[in-house]
Amino acid sequence: MRRPIRLVTVALALLAPVLRAQQTEAPKDTIAEARRLRDAGAYAAAAGLLAPYVSAHPEDPGTARMAALMSYWSKDVASARATYETVLGNHPDDADVRLEFARFLVDLGQASRARQVIVPVAENGDRDLPATRQAITLLATLDYWRGDFSSARRAFISALRADSADTAARRQLREIEVVSASWVRVGGSGWHDDQPLNRATTELEGGWFASPVTPLGVRVTSTRFSHDDVAETVSRAEASFATFLPGPRLDISAAAGVLTRTFGESSDWTGRASLGFRLPRNVVLEGSYERAPYTNTTASLETPVITRTAAATLRWRAPSGWMGNATASREAFDDDNSITTGYAWLLAPLLHRSGGDLHVGYSFAAQAAEHSRFVPRLGKANLPPGPPQGEVAGFYYPYYTPRDLRVHSALASATARPSPRWSLTANGSWGVHVRDDAPVLIAVSNPPNASIVRAYYPRDFTPWNLRGAIEGAATDAVRLALTAEHGTGAYYAFTTVGVRLTYTFIAAARRRADRY
């Protein structure tokens, strides 16, 4: 009985090295098979094959990274995220793990977590290590994507000084220099409506950047108005400032200017300011205030009108192509009157591609003035004596005042990009259900004379507008825009055309980027 036992013991001793060798070779076979599956495009199968090995070998970060990558490529984001988090917990000092995990998070748009993961590698103090330089570039990219161009520029320059062959850093530094390049613009536009009122505008603008997030601008315009053989001119000069604070994600802008008129008080001032908060999920909340001249009616060219408008706007732009906007505003006038407006629209993408977009949507607007400014065209003193004459011709003096206006509209927008340099855009709206209280003036008996009474009646009408634009780059530095629009509203129908030519100092911007 003892002899068989001794034989078994000897056999096991002889087989032990073989068994150990097989156990050692098994992982190598697993990894080799996973690589074969990866090369064949079977990413899910490779991830499934590697999962047990990764669980059994927490000391192997390289294979864990491969397993996470296979899960990601097979669109199993949750498994990939869990694997990266586990391997980072097991190997917190592994720079390669942190770099790869941070890039994964950047792809998912999780910038805050990516920054937490990569900062220890970027701040280890050894700029000669490739991993450190890659981490600095990745941090700069995160700053760039969140709009902190100033911090991103400094980091890209630091990365290029450590490694001038860092193509990613140089490419993005060039992009920052180009978008913050100085520019000049000239343009002109013409307008005609059936009040009738015509106007022709010429403009000159220029801007430069005090920092990559702080543009300063100057704009000069001159508009010539003509109606009923009367010609007037309004000229404006304005200086503007804007900046972005990445910490609170706050956009700030302000402008101030002067204007001159050939009617009424010859000079006045203008101003505007806004604060915008960039909220999560591509939402922006903005508040604004503006003091500006009103010149939309023929009467406003006889009696100068200044408006003070306070507005709050909520904007949404999703990467999928959905867009929305909601605005509430109050426009105050010097005669203790005001107009309150509410407006909202939503556009849904039917087509959202690199070559073009097609959107359809809906909008709703409501508008009402506190007091009406619809008055007799000839004045009450010119009412002829005798019996009432019925309806009296009237007009808005000196500005348009709607009453209980409600507009439901269908929207459509299409953009085609036949080349990377050029785009063609057409958009329009059609009032599908529109109603307001329209004013009418009636002469009534009030012996010994007659008096004029303002009354209202419910009115249905169909406002619509259509706008087209061609925009593009004739060269790297020269951009051209041509626009045209026609529309009808509650008060008048109009047609306008415009042209704008912009020159950007691209060459100088690129030279600045190539110095490093």
pLDDT in tens, the chain (516 residues): 444 444 334 343 434 443 344 444 445 588 888 888 888 889 999 899 989 988 898 899 989 999 999 999 999 999 999 999 999 999 998 888 999 999 999 888 888 899 999 988 888 766 667 888 888 889 888 998 888 999 999 989 988 888 888 888 899 999 999 999 999 999 999 999 999 999 999 999 999 999 999 999 999 999 999 998 889 999 999 999 999 999 899 999 999 999 999 998 889 999 999 999 999 889 999 999 999 999 999 999 989 999 999 999 999 999 899 999 999 999 999 999 999 999 999 999 999 998 999 999 999 999 999 999 999 987 554 555 555 557 888 999 999 999 999 999 999 999 999 999 999 999 999 999 999 999 999 888 766 667 888 999 999 999 999 999 999 999 999 999 999 999 999 989 999 999 999 999 999 999 998 888
Gap between the Cα atoms of 398 and 395, Å rounded:
9
Neighbours of 431 (CB within 10 A): 21
Phi-psi region of 409 (alpha: psi -120 to 50; beta: other; left: phi over 0): beta
Q: Are 461 and 444 in contact (CB under 8 A)?
A: no
Residue with tokens 């505007």: 272
Residue with tokens 């500006």: 292
Q: What is the pLDDT of residue 370?
A: 97
Instruction: Using alpha carbons, select from 367, 491, 346, 357 the residue that is nearest to residue 429.
Output: 346
Q: What is the pLDDT of residue 197?
A: 95
User: DSSP letter string over 497-509?
Assistant: EEEEEEEE-HHHH
Q: Are 487 and 493 in contact (CB under 8 A)?
A: yes
User: Which residues have C-beta within 8 Å of that of residue 515, sequence separation ≥ 6?
Assistant: none
SS3 360: strand
Gap between the Cα atoms of 436 and 484, Å rounded:
28
Element (H, E) at 513: helix 506-513
Bridge partners (DSSP) of residue 500 are 187, 481
Q: How many residues are there in the chain?
A: 516
Q: What is the pLDDT of residue 28?
A: 56
Integer angstrom CA distances of residue 384 from 173, 442, 454? 75, 13, 18
Gap between the Cα atoms of 273 and 289, Å rounded:
6
Instruction: Using alpha carbons, select from 396, 387, 378 the residue that is nearest to residue 451.
Output: 387
Encoding tokens for residue 445? 């008996």
Q: What is the pLDDT of residue 381?
A: 47
Q: Are 72 and 104 in contact (CB under 8 A)?
A: yes
Q: Which residues of 179-217 are buried (b: 16+ CB within 10 A; e: fewer)?
A: ebbebebebebebbbebebebebebebebebeebbbbeb
**CA 121, 122, 126, 130 torsion: positive or negative?**
positive
Bridge partners (DSSP) of residue 264 are none
Encoding tokens for residue 238? 């304005």
Q: Are 204 and 501 in contact (CB under 8 A)?
A: no
- List the domains of the chain with CATH numbers: 17-179 (1.25.40.10), 183-513 (2.40.160.40)
Q: Which residues of 359-391 are buried (b: 16+ CB within 10 A; e: fewer)?
A: bebebebebbbeebbbbbeeeeeebeeeebeee
Q: What is the pLDDT of residue 6?
A: 46
Q: What is the pLDDT of residue 162?
A: 80
Angle at 108 between CA 107 and CA 114, to 5 degrees: 80
- The half-sphere exposure of 15 on its side-chain side, counting CA atoms within 13 A, is 7
Element (H, E) at 92: none
**CA 354, 355, 361, 367 torsion: positive or negative?**
positive
Long-range contacts of 222-225 (CB under 8 A, 24+ apart): 223/199, 223/295, 224/199, 224/200, 225/197, 225/198, 225/199, 225/295, 225/301
Q: What is the pLDDT of residue 455?
A: 93
Q: Are 156 and 137 in contact (CB under 8 A)?
A: yes
